[in-house]
Structure 1
């Protein structure tokens, strides 16, 4: 699906359109549409300990069984409330965290339990842009030292020298080569995020995981960074997994969108289908919360604001059955007792819900709502 065109005033990137590489400065692009990343049954449980002997008394089920693929050249957006496991998922697929269960395949190679030595060559192809540009850059190092660190760690000598390549990368992300000897405290938040992007691009990665790349930035700067990521994808053939809680950002940059709730994916489909015909009640509630600045347009859309009851349950003790049933206005007895699988209910539209919107029920015949029956949803 073609992404929206940039507005005439949107930012343009400078510099060469050639990706940096070890010798020639070019990177072999993966074939468009082929699975680049495949995740199956991915889990991450953080143990909870107590007492002098650190006896485990429970676990935080941060990620509890994810299945999805990321195709070469596309952008997969991941949205959900705070605490749903989005950032943990990003750190798992980049192997910054060790998975508790499941598997991660990158270009057909299982990287689930590779050690530091085994992951070293993979780091060239999988990079991450961190959420906070203030804490992800070492304040004692210059910009040149920060962006050149991947070359030194991987033992790569770019053509023309490291300094020349770093200055070219700074131009690519919209900074000046003269910034090479400056320190992070001399830059604004948006400029620091550009430095982080330049560092992530240094080794010509095939997959970039961006964890809330614009959430710490001013709104005016957010648009510039989002447009920069879009332009870099077209120029360098990148594949993105972008994690965010801002639905407007996700809508602008994504080809497909995964909606997460309490450690699980509840809906996965292309951007147009998600915004036009959301099938999961949680997705519908999220979309209803998007502010519409024009009251007349809001009335014309006829969107009903959905206020979810209660708080998000604890990931230490998630509800039985469907994890959203404690806050869902459509919940029935089967939602409380049986966990819905993530299955395709339309072409390319996967949903985990017994009573989806805009589609037949997965469990027909069970229509007695829990709130009408007076049954506790806990």
Structure 2
């Protein structure tokens, strides 16, 4: 692989030529203010320079520890938060800094499923009012009236149309999440950002909701950005996975490659904690326990942000930030000393070549 070829490598997903969403250099810093005049004294670097793309019809999952910036990223993509810097292009249109009025028509195409089905539904409104709200807010005419459209949506997500006049407190957690999904689907969006859609549900019904989301994706040609911390669920639903640590993507790959050959030490540590039902395999696998706490996003470590907890860290890790580059086809890693790269030589520029070959420049 030549240096020029590496520099010309398209954003993940570009090989298909059909990206629905492209993110470049995305940042979100929350100012920390103190004193009588509320002067800015620091900033929480929740998201600090993300680059990725989402193809039409795929599921891209964002995973990582709590506080790594997953939910903030989801709210930036749906423009519930204003980016500090960077660029968000949705369906060929730059939506990074669109005003509320200009963003309103695009709300039909970009929707969000929230984590908590108990707080995301207004307890004073009936299911019919909640699910029918998008039609009224966007002034969308339905062929047979809003009530019939809402009942069709309820049936689509596995609820009875007779639930139209009931209130949220009359439903279980799984049923409430189905109501939230029905509301999300009302305007037939192109992109859905699902913020841990099953983490607040009983384990017994998580699989039902996950299977529902997969069926809806196949039937309605939906594109998902899934935010999750349960790596077992992620493996089941994802086409590609982006691993985040302290506001940055440290590894981005297709699902099989990531789970079978993780390259970033942080990803290796995360996957070592995933329960395996096969007791023989469990005994053969080494559990990696990271030392220390996650550093503060107000004052993150320099260069590689993971170097304070990494067992492979060397001096360069604290002085030079590793770029997110391809170490295998479609497998991007930001690490000076990646794991599972047997047969590959990684030079200081981050270019991987098979052993025995000399990289050209």
- TM score, norm. by length of structure 1: 0.86
The gaps in structure 2 that reach 5 residues or longer are 1-15, 350-361
Q: Of 304, 315, 323, which aligns to 1:333?
A: 315
Q: Of 331, 335, 345, which aligns to 2:327?
A: 345
> Take 1:90 and 1:240, find their aligned partners in 2: how far apart are those partners?
11
Aligned-partner SS, 1:146 = helix
2:58 equivalent to 1:92: no
1:145-224 pair list within 5 angstroms? 145-224=129-208
> Take 1:151 and 1:46, find their aligned partners in 2: how far apart are those partners?
33
> Take 2:84 and 2:174, find their aligned partners in 1: how far apart are those partners?
35
> Take 1:346 and 1:60, find their aligned partners in 2: how far apart are those partners?
33
1:35-46 pair list within 5 angstroms? 35-46=19-30
1:253 is aligned to 237
Q: Of 97, 106, 114, which aligns to 1:122?
A: 106
Q: Of 280, 288, 298, which aligns to 1:306?
A: 288
Aligned-partner SS, 2:62 = strand
Q: C-alpha displacement at 1:71, in angstroms?
A: 0.1
Aligned length, in residue pairs: 331
> Take 2:249 and 2:143, find their aligned partners in 1: how far apart are those partners?
43
1:17 is aligned to none
Per-residue displacement from partner, 1:316-369 (whole Å, max 9, x unpaired)?
Answer: 0000010000000000110010111111111000000010112234439xxxxx
Q: C-alpha displacement at 1:53, in angstroms?
A: 1.1
> Take 2:91 and 2:348, find their aligned partners in 1: how far apart are those partners?
37
The gaps in structure 1 that reach 5 residues or longer are 1-31, 365-378
Aligned-partner SS, 1:76 = strand
2:249 is aligned to 265
> Take 1:319 and 1:353, find their aligned partners in 2: how far apart are those partners?
15
Per-residue displacement from partner, 1:126-154 (whole Å, max 9, x unpaired)?
Answer: 00000010000000000000000000010
1:13 is aligned to none
2:302 equivalent to 1:320: yes
> Take 1:362 and 1:339, find their aligned partners in 2: how far apart are those partners?
14
2:345 equivalent to 1:363: no
Q: C-alpha displacement at 1:52, in angstroms?
A: 1.4
> Take 1:73 and 1:295, find their aligned partners in 2: how far apart are those partners?
36
> Take 1:221 and 1:48, find their aligned partners in 2: how far apart are those partners?
40
> Take 1:349 and 1:303, find their aligned partners in 2: how far apart are those partners?
23
Per-residue displacement from partner, 1:13-70 (whole Å, max 9, x unpaired)?
Answer: xxxxxxxxxxxxxxxxxxx861000000000000000111111110000000000000
1:291 is aligned to 275
1:77 is aligned to 61
1:109 is aligned to 93
Q: C-alpha displacement at 1:260, in angstroms?
A: 0.2
> Take 2:46 and 2:128, find their aligned partners in 1: how far apart are those partners?
36
> Take 1:256 and 1:35, find their aligned partners in 2: how far apart are those partners?
14
How large is the RMSD of aligned CA atoms in angstroms? 1.1
2:44 is aligned to 60
Q: C-alpha displacement at 1:159, in angstroms?
A: 1.1
Question: Does the CA contact (< 8 Å) of 1:33 and 1:72 recur in 2?
Answer: no
